[in-house]
Amino acid sequence: MTDILYCGNDKVFDGVLTSGLSIVRRLDAPRPLTIHIFTMELTRVSPNYLPMTRHHADIIETALREKASVVGLSALMTTTMMHMKDVIAEAADKQYGGKIIIGGAAVTPSFSDEIGADGYSKDAADCVKLVSRLLS
């Protein structure tokens, strides 16, 4: 049996069918495929998604303009995670008063501590708990 977990908001369904069919096509032998979909709706969150590039000021300026309480940074590759420290430095320079949390496949709790992030989340469910704790 193959279990697959998708996590996200209501837009997660857009990719489930396509990726599910692709996975089934590539399985070595026919076997049951179980797809789990974890979605959530948060009433206090207004998501704004910006790519993490070398323009770190854009992320913090958007957070300041939108009065964001939390900025979440995610890195799936080590090349991207190295920019997280720069975003945190930019936040300090711009006197951003909110929290900055990090997560993603490439980062660890110790890396979060090393770069001065306010928290680390291993997955979406953990992120909800972290943000709730930071904002209480």
Which residues of the chain fall below pLDDT 70? 1-14, 27-30, 33, 36-57
CA separation, residue 39 to residues 8, 12, 15, 30, 101 (Å): 5, 8, 13, 28, 20
- Quote the strand ranges of the chain, DSSP E: 2-8, 33-39, 70-74, 99-103, 119-121
Give the pLDDT of residue 39.
65
Q: Global pTM?
A: 0.62
Cα(9)–Cα(25) distance, rounded to whole angstroms?
A: 26
Give the pLDDT of residue 129.
87
